[in-house]
Amino acid sequence: REDINNIKPEYVKSFQFENKLMPLTWIVVRIDGCHFHRFSEVHEFEKPNDEQALNLMNSCAVAVLEQFKDVIFSYGVSDEYSFVLKKDSQFYQRRGSEIVTALVSYFTSIYVMKWKEFFPQKELKYPPCFDGRAVLYPTSEILRDYLTWRQVDCHINNQYNTCFWMLVKSGKSKSEAQAYLKGTQAREKNEVLLQQFGIDYNTLPLMFRQGSSAFWNEEEKTGMYENGASAEKSGKKVVVEQCNIIEQSFWEAHPSILN
Ligand code: ATP
Ligand code: ATP
Ligand code: MG
Ligand code: MG
Ligand code: MG
Ligand code: MG
């Protein structure tokens, strides 16, 4: 063993590996609540969708966009949020683990800080945790396919969960409800909702059916405010909207996001 005074920093650092993400590709950081099945039970979230819990998630996403300017778009549903960084981002020189950990820890801190604002009557019983990963998408088409996948997933899960919880609330056990819905198609689930519970799926709140998107609005008037005018002054701010991000029309209406 070397004498501790002779350990050279270069030698110790040589064990670190490069984890730089490929240049000029879209970076998507998806974070997801750890064991939120349990967290939502302990904190008595309304089932299948607790609106305030979703509003809290959205508010945390807004804070992330405001803090990390390379994040240009985000989409969230349930206990997850996907953050899209601009293609040419040089955030942390594109080191993946730093990018992911900075975003996920900031999101988590905000979640805890804002808890009381969204749940004034509920005590936060234990510290929530989120995990995160970075995935690279080489073209805007494939990035859109990714976002489509998340929004389709939101719809499928919400349809299932809405049926499941209506069955449970009407007296079935959880395993009976599960068995009842096994193998049913989307159309059949809509029929169960309509015929047994008088619910037209398409009239449920958009936030439950489509998830939420947080992004910078386009009111920025570049060039109008010189000398480092603040974002507020230029009218630019992060908005949360329930959009269909599968359709081309959303991206045409917001051309600055993917360009
Ligand atoms: P993992 O740690 O593997 O992610 P998980 O228990 O978090 O496990 P998920 O697949 O991420 O599992 O699902 C999140 C769960 O959290 C949902 O199934 C749902 O029960 C609950 N949940 C999250 N958000 C809400 C909400 N707004 N309202 C009601 N329940 C919610
Ligand atoms: P980066 O984001 O690059 O990590 P940084 O400002 O966090 O930048 P570090 O090299 O991580 O820089 O150094 C942490 C700094 O935080 C220290 O230089 C010191 O100023 C401050 N700091 C951290 N812990 C303490 C502490 N216990 N008491 C006083 N100052 C502290
Ligand atoms: Mg997970
Ligand atoms: Mg989860
Ligand atoms: Mg999840
Ligand atoms: Mg530091």
Number of independent structural domains in the chain = 1
Does 202 fall in a domain? no
Does 65 fall in a domain? yes
Could you read off the pLDDT of 27-58 as tens digits, one per residue?
999 999 999 999 999 999 999 999 999 999 99
Does 162 fall in a domain? no
Confidence of residue 257 (pLDDT cuts 50, 70, 90): very high
The Å distance, Cα 79 to ligand 5 centre, comes to: 5
Q: What is the DSSP letter of 20?
A: B
| Nearest CA residue ID for atom 19, ligand 1 | 37
Does 63 fall in a domain? yes
| Nearest CA residue ID for atom 4, ligand 1 | 34
Is there a cis peptide before residue 48, judged by omega within 30 degrees of 0? yes
Does 182 fall in a domain? no
Give percent above pLDDT 70 in the chain. 93
Q: Which atom of ligand 1 is nearest to the CA of 34?
A: 2
The Å distance, Cα 97 to ligand 6 centre, comes to: 14
| Residues with a CB atom less than 6 Å from ligand 1 | 32-37, 40, 45, 47, 49-50, 53-54, 78-79
The Å distance, Cα 232 to ligand 1 centre, comes to: 35
Could you read off the pLDDT of 86-115 as tens digits, one per residue?
999 999 999 999 999 999 999 999 999 999
The Å distance, Cα 49 to ligand 5 centre, comes to: 13
| Nearest CA residue ID for atom 29, ligand 1 | 49
The Å distance, Cα 40 to ligand 5 centre, comes to: 11
Q: Please state, in angstroms and as integers, the Cα–Cα distance from residue 102 to each residue in 87, 97, 214, following that order.
A: 18, 8, 18
The yes-or-no verdict on residue 144 having pLDDT over 70 is: yes
The ipTM assigned to this model is 0.96
Range of the domain at 110: 9-151+212-220+229-258
Q: Where are the alpha helices (DSSP H) in 123-218?
A: 140-169, 174-181, 186-197, 206-210
CATH number of 136's domain: 3.30.70.3000
pLDDT at 19: 86
Nearest ligand to the CA of 36 is: 1
First-residue to last-residue Cα distance in the chain? 55
| Nearest CA residue ID for atom 27, ligand 1 | 50
Count other Cβ atoms within 10 Å, centred on residue 94: 21
